[in-house]
Amino acid sequence: MGNCLIKNLEDLQSGFRELKVTGEEEKEDPSDFVLWKPKKEGEPYWESPWCDGRPGWHIECSVMSKKYLGDQIDIHAGGEDLIFPHHENEIAQSEAANGKEFAKYWMHNAFLNIDNRKMSKSLGNFFTVRDISEKYDLQVLRFFMLSAHYRSPLNFSADLMESSKNGLDRILTAVDKLKSLEASAKTEGLLETEDKNQVNALVEKYEAAMDDDFNTADAISAIFELVKVSNSTTDEESSLEYVTLLKNTIEKLCDILGIITEKEEVILAEEIEAMIAARQQARKDKDFALADEIRGKLLDQGIVLEDTREGVKWKRV
């Protein structure tokens, strides 16, 4: 999982930008990065043995890491765009200062694309998590992101989100079925060795995927196989021990990934707007009981309404 790059110094020099930052012209080598920047007029600064100024971007991270985590850390993560120069420079300065390997493992995630195009404000296809939450349950978003390896580019689209929703529902429905069977299952009957071995084999497949550079895509595949086993081998005649083993196993593996196996009905933005419109119409019709009932239903879903001069506003709480 190490991500060290070899850079050609001539290439770096040929694309070197005009030196505009105060103090950069004083470098011994133009390829050196700045550890301490002299102050500019009007900027915050600190006194130092070198001059009044502030830390360079790269040194900030090394210092925070050393202060709160120590001279060496187990895992350092970040976007693949930070490999050079930021992470390379963190390594150089931290290892020079501390005399030991800076980080044992590096995990760099790839970018998120929107409908096969890189997400950017200039293209007008930039979304925040808050934006997405107005259309999709964030559990679906989490499941969608886990369905690809973190080092692979991820393409966001309505079709893929719908597919992720269906996949997550499949798991949640299987867990609900197992819970119902557990409540009514016969207590007699031993757990068959063959059944236990099949479940254990899929747990081992899951663990092997997670040990393979955090391959969540293959890990979820193992969960789906457990769901398939559950759907095809459990019914009202199944033993309590077998049903409980499947339920607990699926829930445990989902919990590791942060997947909540409790089914939750999440109201979407368009549904909220429709209910607000119905409430407005009820108020026009002087049916205040219905208007209060709609407001109460929204509140039960964690949606608070605020009547303003510009109209009705809502927020999640």
Distances from the Cα of 12 to the Cαs of 19, 23, 37, in angstroms? 14, 20, 21
Query: Is residue 279 located within the same domain as residue 239?
Result: no
Backbone angles phi and psi of 170, in degrees to 5: -60, -40
Give the model's confidence band at 11: pLDDT under 50 very low, under 70 low, under 90 confident, else very high: low
Inter-residue contact 36 to 56 (CB < 8 Å): yes
144 within domain boundaries: yes
Query: Is residue 252 located within the same domain as residue 281?
Result: no
126 within domain boundaries: no
Query: Is residue 75 located within the same domain as residue 174?
Result: no
Query: Is residue 69 located within the same domain as residue 99?
Result: yes
Continuous segment of H or E residues that includes residue 105: strand 103-109
Nearest residue to 30 via CA among 15, 50, 16: 16
- Whole-angstrom distance, CA of residue 2 vs CA of residue 308: 54
Would strands 53-55 and 311-316 be described as parallel, antiparallel, or unpaired? unpaired
Give the model's confidence band at 309: pLDDT under 50 very low, under 70 low, under 90 confident, else very high: confident
Q: How far is CA 238 from the centre of its chain?
A: 37
214 within domain boundaries: yes
Query: Is residue 287 located within the same domain as residue 198?
Result: no
Query: Is residue 35 located within the same domain as residue 63?
Result: yes
Question: Is 11 in a helix, a strand, or coil?
Answer: helix
Q: What is the DSSP track for 178-198?
A: HHHHHHH-BS-SPPPHHHHHH
Distances from the Cα of 48 to the Cαs of 37, 39, 51, 84, in angstroms? 11, 11, 5, 28
Name the percent of the chain lying above pLDDT 70: 88
173 within domain boundaries: yes
Average pLDDT over the chain reads 87
What was the pLDDT predicted at 189? 67
> Residue 168 burial by CB count (10 A; 0-12/13-18/19+): exposed, middle or buried?
buried
- The CATH number for 35's domain is 3.40.50.620
Structure tokens at 51: 């001059």
Residue-wise pLDDT tens digits, 45-81: 999 999 999 999 899 999 999 999 999 999 999 999 9
Q: Quote helix, strand, coil % in the chain, to nearest 5.
A: 50, 15, 35
- The CATH number for 216's domain is 1.10.730.10
The count of structural domains within the chain is 3
133 within domain boundaries: no
Query: Is residue 90 located within the same domain as residue 28?
Result: yes
What was the pLDDT predicted at 6? 56
Dihedral (Cα; 84, 86, 90, 91), 10-degree rounding: -10
Which has more pLDDT, 310 or 210? 210
Query: Is residue 218 located within the same domain as residue 297?
Result: no
What are the residues whose beta carbons fall under 8 Å from the beta carbon of 41, sequence distance 6 or more? none
In this predicted structure, the answer to whether residue 315 has a pLDDT above a threshold of 90 is no
Long-range contacts of 278-285 (CB under 8 A, 24+ apart): 279/305, 279/312, 280/312
94 within domain boundaries: yes
What was the pLDDT predicted at 187? 67
Q: Which of 57, 91, 109 is the last residue of a domain?
A: 109
Query: How many CB atoms lie under 10 A from the CB of residue 147?
Result: 18
Which has more pLDDT, 303 or 68? 68
Which has more pLDDT, 61 or 301? 61
Q: What is the mean pLDDT of residues 177-186?
A: 88
Q: Which of 227, 256, 285 is the last residue of a domain?
A: 256
- Whole-angstrom distance, CA of residue 161 vs CA of residue 268: 14
Distances from the Cα of 235 to the Cαs of 42, 140, 167, 177, 261, in angstroms? 73, 28, 22, 9, 20
127 within domain boundaries: no
R_g over Cα of the chain: 27
Query: Is residue 84 located within the same domain as residue 48?
Result: yes
Query: Is residue 234 located within the same domain as residue 151?
Result: yes
Query: Is residue 180 located within the same domain as residue 213?
Result: yes
Residue-wise pLDDT tens digits, 231-285: 999 998 888 999 999 999 999 999 999 998 976 665 667 788 889 999 999 999 9
pTM of the model: 0.72
DSSP 213: T
Backbone angles phi and psi of 122, in degrees to 5: -65, -30
Give the model's confidence band at 14: pLDDT under 50 very low, under 70 low, under 90 confident, else very high: very low
Domain span at 307: 269-316
Q: What is the mean pLDDT of residues 202-208?
A: 98
Dihedral (Cα; 25, 28, 29, 30), 10-degree rounding: -10
Q: What is the mean pLDDT of residues 309-317?
A: 78
Inter-residue contact 7 to 84 (CB < 8 Å): yes
Backbone angles phi and psi of 178, in degrees to 5: -65, -35
119 within domain boundaries: no
Query: Is residue 240 located within the same domain as residue 303?
Result: no
Give the model's confidence band at 15: pLDDT under 50 very low, under 70 low, under 90 confident, else very high: very low
